[in-house]
């Protein structure tokens, strides 16, 4: 079956599914009183968002999952089906399952915050333990799919054997990416918009290198995030919550590992990296200097917000910056001939 057609179907199904589900999910979340609690440590004007429904990420989780399963099954059932290797099939399905498990962790965190009225949700230890367990399970599946000889492709060098470092790098990439995407979810439409640009970068790589299996997941991700923006753009009618942001983190990692290039997230997910690093720098500098700050507030999107930037301006600028990172990543992938 034509790879381009499958990618278009995945994007359309995910977009339509998310947009339609939002119409029914938002009133339901209102009825259940699943409203966001705005902490006092944030910008004061965010208090106006108090009570906005959260856990809206359920909409795109369902729609993206449906789009991926539908298109992959359609391909398998077609007479002239698109050839996707067994190794790639394993990476795609394992990646989707991994993202769903991270979404489930996020759901538990949101549920505790909203229903149990514990503002911090899962404790850091609880969240870390379950995240590491999911990381380990996913890495085992990758390890087995690579014939127990794990590698990473690097521009101009080809496949680089990782040996024991596969496990250390894997946990760092997974844990870091999941939480970096979570940091990016701080203002209306930001995480959704940045992830649209990230998914677009993966789609271009898929098309240029005819890696249509990965392209299907990337197209579904783009469609789902674009559909969520119908409800999440400023002023947001619903937030994705940790349910959504942790799922998105899992999806972008799954896409990077589907083509054996976890390093690509440094570029295709440039804003995720900047957000996470800004938070780490702020905390570290605060402790070292006993109370001084580098930024007015971290993660860095709040710094610009408190400097007078509107939420729409932040979303636009951050998305453009991430697109620039995508362009650099695509160029390295293309000229480095690593796929």
Q: Which domain holds residue 258?
A: 3-336
Q: Write the CA distances from 17 to 59, 211, 236, 266, integer angstroms.
A: 8, 25, 18, 30
> Which residues neighbour 37 within 8 Å (Cβ) at sequence distance 6 or greater?
50, 113, 114, 119
- Please tell me whether residue 188 adopts helix, strand or coil conformation: coil
- Give me the pLDDT at residue 46, please: 57
- Give me the pLDDT at residue 35, please: 58
Cα-Cα-Cα-Cα dihedral sign, residues 324, 326, 328, 331: negative
Q: Write the CA distances from 260 to 5, 105, 160, 178, 189, integer angstroms.
A: 24, 25, 10, 18, 29
- Give me the pLDDT at residue 88, please: 82
- Give me the pLDDT at residue 39, please: 54
> Which residues neighbour 76 within 8 Å (Cβ) at sequence distance 6 or greater?
none
Q: How many structural domains is the chain composed of?
A: 1
Residues lower than pLDDT 70 in the chain: 1, 34-51, 79-81, 117-120, 338-339
CA–CA gap between residue 313 and residue 304 (Å, rounded): 10
Closest CA to 231 of 69, 33, 59, 100: 59
Cα-Cα-Cα-Cα dihedral sign, residues 315, 198, 125, 92: positive
Beta bridge partners of 152: 160
């Amino acid at each position: 079956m034509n790879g381009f057609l499958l990618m278009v179907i995945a994007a359309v199904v995910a977009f339509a599914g998310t947009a339609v589900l939002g119409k029914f999910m938002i009133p339901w979340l209102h009825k259940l009183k699943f409203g966001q609690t705005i902490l006092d440590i944030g910008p004061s004007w965010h208090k106006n968002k108090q009570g906005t429904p959260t856990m809206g990420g359920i909409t795109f989780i369902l729609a993206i999952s449906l789009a991926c399963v539908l298109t992959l099954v359609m391909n398998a059932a077609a007479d002239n089906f698109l050839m996707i290797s067994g190794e790639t099939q394993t990476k795609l399905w394992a990646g989707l399952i991994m993202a769903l498990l991270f979404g489930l962790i996020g759901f538990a965190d949101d549920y505790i915050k909203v229903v149990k009225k514990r503002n911090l949700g899962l404790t850091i230890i609880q969240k870390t333990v379950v995240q590491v367990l999911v990381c380990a399970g996913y890495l085992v599946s990758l390890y087995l799919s690579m014939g127990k000889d794990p590698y990473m492709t690097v521009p101009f060098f080809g496949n680089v054997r990782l040996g024991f470092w596969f496990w250390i790098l894997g946990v760092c990439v997974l844990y870091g990416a999941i939480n970096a995407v979570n940091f990016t979810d701080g203002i209306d439409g930001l995480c959704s918009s940045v992830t649209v640009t990230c998914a677009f970068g993966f789609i271009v790589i898929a098309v240029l290198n005819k890696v249509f299996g990965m392209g299907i997941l990337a197209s579904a991700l783009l469609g789902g995030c674009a559909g969520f923006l119908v409800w999440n753009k400023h002023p947001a009618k619903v937030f994705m919550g940790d349910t959504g942001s942790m799922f998105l983190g899992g999806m972008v990692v799954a896409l990077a590992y589907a083509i054996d290039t976890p390093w690509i997230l440094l570029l295709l997910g440039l804003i995720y990296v900047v957000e996470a690093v800004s938070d780490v720098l702020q905390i570290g500098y605060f402790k070292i200097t006993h109370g001084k700050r580098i930024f007015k507030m971290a993660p860095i999107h709040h710094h610009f917000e408190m400097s007078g930037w509107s939420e729409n301006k932040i979303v636009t600028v951050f998305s453009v910056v991430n697109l620039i990172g995508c362009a650099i990543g695509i160029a390295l992938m293309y000229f480095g001939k690593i796929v």
